[in-house]
Every structure is written in C-alpha cells, then in structure tokens.
Amino acid sequence: MRCAAWVRSTRGVCRQRNPVVGRCGVRHYRSVEDGRVLARRYYDDVVRPLIGKKWPGLPHAAGRLGSGSDVLGLDDETSRDHDWGLRLSLLVDGAVVDEINAYLAAELPATYAGLPTRFPFTGQTEAIHHVDVSSVEGFVTARLGVDPRQGLSTIDWLTMSGQSVLEVVGGPVFVDQPGDITAVRDRLQWYPDDVWRYVVACDWTRLAEEMPLMSRAGELGDDLGSRVIAARLVDVAVHLAFLVERRWPPYSKWRGTMFARLPCAREVGEPLRKTLKADHWRYRQQQLARALDHLLSRQRAAGLPAPGPATVDFWDRPYLHPNSAIIDELLASAPDLPRGRGSIEQRTDNVQVLVDPAARRAAITQP
C-alpha cells in the first residue's frame, strides 16, 4: 500500500529531509532544517556557482520569497508533503530572465541534499526546477499589481492584501547586489500614517456594524446565529490586532499562528477565546468588549487616536457597541475615502479575489 505522500508525487519519492524507508517502501525525509535554511544552502552550494560560471559578476538578488509556508518559517512535517523542497527566488535583469531559466533547467544537478531539484507542484505532472527566475519588477507586480519603486497611491495601498505583501517582505533575502528588492521591501514596511488610520477606522466600523447584532440574536434564542456573528467579529478583532501592532496579516491558515506572536496576543487573545466559547450572549459580548478595551489601549500606545471607552451602550438596549468617537477621530486625519470600506481584505474574504491583483484592484476601484 502506498503512502499519501507517494500518491501526491509523480516520481514516487516523498520530498522531505534525511531519508528513511517506511513500511510502504518509499523514502521519506525527516527535516532537520526549515525551508529557508535549505534555500540558502541551495543558493550558496549550487545556484550561485552555476550563475557565476556562466555570467561572472552578474548583478542579482536571491532569497526565499513568494508563496509557501517556509517563506515565513512555518513549514513542518505536514507542509513538506507537497510543493516543498528546493525552492529559491532569483532576481535578475529582465533581459536575461529566459536565458538564465533555460540554463538552470539544463545544468542543475538531479538532486541536492538528498532532495530532487525538479518536481511537480500540486495539480501538475511535469517535474521542473523551482528556481523562480524573474526581474524585480516582474516579481513584485505579479504579487502586488504595482511596482512600489514607482510610488504608491492610496488606492495602491488598499489593493494589497497582507498576504501579498508578506510574499515580498516576509522571507529572507540572501544577497541583493543591485539593492532593488531591498528598496521595495523598505517601501512596504508599513502603510503611510493616513492610510493606516483609515484601515484601523474601517475595522472599528466593521465591529460596530455587527456587535449589537450578535447580542440581539442571542437574546432571541438564536445561539447559533449569535456564535456565527461572534466568529466574524473575532476575526475582525484579530485583523485589528495586526494593524495596531504594525504587522502585515497573513491569510487565514497562518493568521492565528502569527497572531500568537504579536505583543498584544496574550491580553487580547484570552478574551477572544472566551468570546468564541461563551454559552450565553451576555458573557459573549462582555468578553469581546474586554478584548476591544485591550486593543484600544494598544492603539493608543501606537500613537493613533484612541478616545475611550472602547464600547458604549447601544441606545437603551442591553447591548454593547464600539464607541463611534474612535472612528470619528481616526477618520479626521485619514484620506477622504468611502467610510468603512477599507482595504481589499476588509472588503472580501473571497480567495479568488484576494490572490488576483487585477481582481483586487477592480474591487477597490468600483463605485
């Protein structure tokens, strides 16, 4: 019987580290290093010598950028069962991209460190090398839709999801002789202050729109409906935590993991977990309000407008509601943009939109 990893590999070899033979008779690899370390070794020992032999002194940059759990150091035994292995970003002048790609396809050895240099990604059958050769412009525009070196408008900032930015700034750069990818990464460290205020205000607006509904549904006896709304609100609160800590939020699979590394994670995370576990709507809104108190405190510490309290009574009903003064003060010095719409990931969680730069821009610029 063949293991699941064999089934996913058209070559019948599990691409993990340190081979041992399992009961299925297939070689497995137990990792002793993450993919970023592996990429650095691959560049130093194989790719750089090959490039230097053919093009001595060629200005280039190399790193482990783009997609993949290892870009952020989050790869483990499970993530190594597909699309993981000898992967590298090589950034060169656009005029030689095709030539270098063809040269590496012909000259790379069959294996390095016990791993194949050519393998198919999920859904593909052709085994190819995964030294992703590109120009800096081609690499960043494929992910962001724009080249930050040409300047970024407010609309440009709003079209970029946190994940798309992390694919450019999150992974390690091993060498950058021209300095271009470093310049891009420096430009993308964080939003301009006015755009930052706008997206923070948007998360508070999203909270305000549904927090009373969570309580109302619970009061009516619709516990499932109240929990569903609570889960959405917790997701918004987690997103807000990234914003006030000036950290780009990754997509959903990694968001909780990286949230746990934020400075505010302990004080904010505990009441958010209780919000999700609560068996009564009153306790649910109480715990969410506690989390928002902590977030407002972190917002104030970050130098953003943060008038208290975080929540107030909702008319004369027994519900809580985010303080509208928070939103008003944030927007007083923010761009004149539609109230509450925010960045692309605040407008939609549709994956097919979020991974497509053209679709993201269309969603932001439509009336």
Instruction: Write the pLDDT tens digit of every residue in 195-216.
Output: 999 999 999 999 999 999 999 9
The model's confidence at residue 19, banded by pLDDT at 50, 70 and 90, is very low
Residue 309, preceding peptide bond in cis (omega within 30° of 0): yes
Q: Which percentage of the chain shows pLDDT scores above 70?
A: 91
Q: Containing H/E element for 186?
A: helix 180-187
pLDDT band for position 33 (50/70/90)? low
Q: What is the pLDDT of residue 12?
A: 34
- Helix, coil or strand: residue 343: coil
At how many degrees (to 10) do helices 223-244 and 193-219 cross? 160
Q: List, for residues 113-152, the tens digit of each pLDDT value.
A: 999 999 999 888 899 999 999 999 999 999 999 999 999 9
pLDDT bucket at 82, cuts 50 / 70 / 90: confident
Percent of the chain at pLDDT above 90? 85
Structure tokens at 239: 């997103």
